[in-house]
A and B are shown apart, each in its own frame.
Chain A
Amino acid sequence: MPICVWVLTIIIGLTTAVSARDIVVAIGGEPDTGFDPVQGWGDYGSPLFQSSLLKLDADLNIVGDLATEWTLSEDKKTWVIRLREDARFSNGTPVTAEDVAFTYNTARDAGGLVDMTVLREARATGPLSVEIELTEPRITFIRRLTTLGIVPQSSYAKDYGRAPVGSGPFQMVEWREGETLIVEPNPYWFGGEVGFDRISFIFGDEDAAVAMARSGEAQLVAVPPSQADDVPDGMYLIEVESVDNRGLMFPMVPATGETTQEGAPIGNDVTSDRAIRVAVNQGLDREALVALALNGHGKPAFGPADDLPWDNPDAHIPGNDIAAAIETLERAGWLDNNGSGLRKKDGIPAQFKIVYPAADSVRQALALGASKQLKALGIDAQPSGRSWDEIPRLMHSNVVVFGWGAHDPSEMFNLYSSNKAGVATFNPGFYANAAVDAAFAKAEAADGFEASLPHWKAAQWDGTTGFGSKGDAAWAWMVNLEHDYFVADCLDIGRVQVHPHGHGFPITSSITDWKWTCE
């Protein structure tokens, strides 16, 4: 027994305090393939080691990072970019136009997680000027300009991801895969001072992260909604809004016996009726769903990009209006003549399945909640938990609870363009509206990102049609998740962007503004 006491004393004695200028954060985000932008690193949050040509500020406005000027050519196919002069990689060499061209062309050919298929070629036209030529007008390519970190041509090799050298705010000290990443400020960074001598990122599962917050070992921790209400001593809770959304995807065409190449049936005779889809949008009580499925940690969702610059609030129907929903159904001929509580039209009962991935408790709660609410409208929506392996076979003929949310309007294109009908999981309902497709085309061909915004909004609702719930109501969006973090009282993380799909690492988008406010 005395030995135990002795050992414990030593252990306690060795618990050393981390100095104030070092912080430990547990927010996930470890890239399996390493910190290589060409392979897809740096999609959300800070790329830490690299800087990109442009970046998004806290309000998601596009501002320069490595680029001081960026203009789109007359034919809207070439970005002409001027680089800042003072940018250097962490090994001291300057960032040149050659490096930028090399990065873009390499990413195009790499077969990694950066979709660069629209890039024809990037060319250095001077020491600090680059031209990036696309195969066709594509305004959303600007999203690549805000995320693709520039790598040095001279030292880029296959193992770059494990020993990254870039012109970003930090340099890597050590990466113990699966456990921790330790970074320190890059002395050559052009953005000035960073508030910490060292930042350590701890990976591992959520419970371990929360345990570290409670034991005082970590100063910033991503926390699941179920644990967010029990804030540890010395920390405060921040609740970040997101477009990490969940909604009901409707099959848009009637069932005609048609199938996909893989043999999955297409179409649904109930949800192909706009009245059903509009009524669902009108009838859902989204506040109740937030309380039920998210424990209150979220807010209602009305479209795929709520509160983002390309969101069109006019396209939304507020919902929670059962009377209006019933009126819509009655007017369209969905009647309950025998008092059974189930409406019918032309002998077809208002009945469909809501498929959700069985392992996802939030989506399960949403499916069950929606099903219950729709009963009041005389619609029999049966929740059906399936595995992700089964869902691709079911998603063209059943309502499915999906989740999306990106800082990129091209997501709307992917979800609602007739081009993407039945492609991967993009537009499983085979939605097609020529006016929407035309609006997308106009948006992509716009003079600049600002100029594209009205077209993205018009795709949602242009006063007569659109994919939004006032128009075709191709989806019934339900909730946006809220991303919760425990933050040490002494840590100021500045203003935070609306989060995309993905909880944790996006919080680092403001990392260079983080400050320690205690001494």
Chain B
Amino acid sequence: MTGWLGPLLVERAIRLCWLAPLAAVGLFILVSNAPVDPIEAYVGARTALIGPEQREAIAAAWGLDQPATTRFVLWVRNVASGDFGDSILYNAPVVTVIMDRFPASLLLVSLAWLLSFVIGTGLGIVAAMTPGSRVDRAIRAYAVVLTSSPGFWVAIILISIFAVGLKMLPSCCALPPGTTTAEATFWAQGRHLILPVVALSVTGIAPLVLHTRARMIGFLESPPAQHLTAHGASQRAIAFGAGLRHALGPALTVHLAGAGELFGGSILAETVFAWPGLGQATVRAATGGDAPLLMGIALATLLFVFVGNMLADIAARLVDPRLRWDKSR
């Protein structure tokens, strides 16, 4: 039954082998041509106090006095031996910087991913069961409003209602302010996840609602559903029985493939909620011209999106048996 999986993985591994170097070259060209002076960005507010000689010393310390091609060759050579270099901004190995922050981002992104999947497909199915009804129209209107709401705006609204107004949920951080990781309880951590996860999940919901709804309506009007109806099955039984796979399968594929987008959205959510994830580091790296870190993050993101897409393909095949044959040709 899983004979298709091996060839798929091999094919993807080959694709990654040419995609990653290509992306690295492209990224490096972009980064080194970005109109950001890494030294000026590094000096930042201290610009009045750092003279030209010290700037040269900083440049030398980070190898920024070398031409871009030399830096790239050096970078490639180091990466080949497993060394992704040091982040200029954080003065720490790129791998350390990423690994320190990635788990927090992953937790946020995966919970938001799950939440938006549950809400999005749930609403989509409910809307599909009575197309054109008031419920259906309300759900679709909600989806449209969500699509056109920027994530950070939703975050600020959530904060002003639940943190400032009702004082019910914390507005910031991964843990209660003033508590160390060791002191924080599981519940306390959970509470701090709620607002960021909800804010982040918002962006992914709308496309899922519309997609699930369209697929479910399509299935409910299809011959297999009619055949079941003719033998006494109710709309609801069909939707939540045979229909689930038809609606959720494609939704799962779309949602997995969109996980990279969610990762992008986490940048804003992390900033608003002071969430100690990779998002903030990404913004800093980009605005600070921190080429090694930016390259590291970009490659990590590439891998993340790549894996997301691969899982999407695997999920699609698991859900729809017809695809398993087509691809083995």
Residues of A whose CB lies within 8 Å of any CB of B are 8, 10-12, 14-16, 18, 22-24, 26, 32-34, 36, 39-40, 43, 110-117, 143, 159, 161-162, 173-174, 176-180, 182, 198, 200, 202-205, 207-208, 211-212, 214-218, 387, 389, 404, 406, 408, 410-411, 414-415, 423-426, 501-502
Q: Which of B15-23, B162-170, B297-305, B317-325 contacts A (4 or more CB under 8 A)?
A: B162-170
Taking CB as reference atom, which chain B residue is nearest A36? Answer: B91
Interface centre among A14, A39, A115, A404 (most CB of B within 10 A): A115
When distances are taken between beta carbons in the complex, the residues of chain B under 8 Å from A178 are: 101, 270, 274-277, 280-281
Determine the distance from Cα of A177 to Cα of B277 in the docked complex, in whole angstroms.
Answer: 8
Given that A117-B54, A406-B49 are known contacts, is A14 also in contact with B187, CB under 8 Å in the complex? yes
Are B177 and A208 neighbours in the complex by a CB distance under 8 Å? no
Residues of B whose CB lies within 8 Å of any CB of A are 35-36, 40, 42-43, 45-55, 57-58, 60-62, 89-92, 100-101, 156, 159-160, 163-164, 167-181, 185, 187-188, 191, 194, 270-277, 280-281, 284, 288
Given that A113-B46, A178-B101, A218-B177 are known contacts, is A39 also in contact with B164, CB under 8 Å in the complex? no
Closest chain-A Cβ to B234's Cβ sits at a distance in Å of 25
Determine the distance from Cα of A212 to Cα of B274 in the docked complex, in whole angstroms.
Answer: 11
For the A-B complex, the count of residue pairs with Cβ-Cβ distances under 8 Å equals 175
Specify which of A176, A215, A406, A411 is in contact with B163 (CB 8 Å cutoff).
A215
Determine the distance from Cα of A406 to Cα of B49 in the docked complex, in whole angstroms.
Answer: 8
Closest chain-B Cβ to A20's Cβ sits at a distance in Å of 12
Given that A113-B46, A115-B50, A208-B273 are known contacts, is A389 also in contact with B35, CB under 8 Å in the complex? yes
Are A8 and B168 neighbours in the complex by a CB distance under 8 Å? yes
Closest chain-A Cβ to B156's Cβ sits at a distance in Å of 6
Determine the distance from Cα of A115 to Cα of B62 in the docked complex, in whole angstroms.
Answer: 16
When distances are taken between beta carbons in the complex, the residues of chain B under 8 Å from A200 are: 177-178
Closest chain-A Cβ to B72's Cβ sits at a distance in Å of 21
Are A174 and B168 neighbours in the complex by a CB distance under 8 Å? no
Determine the distance from Cα of A174 to Cα of B57 in the docked complex, in whole angstroms.
Answer: 32
When distances are taken between beta carbons in the complex, the residues of chain B under 8 Å from A408 are: 48-49
Specify which of A14, A43, A389 is in contact with B188 (CB 8 Å cutoff).
A14
Specify which of A22, A177, A211, A410 is in contact with B164 (CB 8 Å cutoff).
A211
Q: List 12 A-B contacts (CB under 8 A).
A: A24-B177, A26-B172, A32-B288, A113-B43, A115-B53, A176-B175, A204-B274, A211-B164, A211-B172, A389-B35, A406-B49, A425-B47
Taking CB as reference atom, which chain B residue is nearest A390? Answer: B35
Determine the distance from Cα of A367 to Cα of B284 in the docked complex, in whole angstroms.
Answer: 28
Given that A34-B92, A204-B271 are known contacts, is A11 also in contact with B169, CB under 8 Å in the complex? yes
Given that A22-B178, A404-B48 are known contacts, is A11 also in contact with B191, CB under 8 Å in the complex? yes
Determine the distance from Cα of A11 to Cα of B163 in the docked complex, in whole angstroms.
Answer: 12
When distances are taken between beta carbons in the complex, the residues of chain A under 8 Å from B194 are: 11
Interface centre among A162, A217, A389, A411 (most CB of B within 10 A): A217
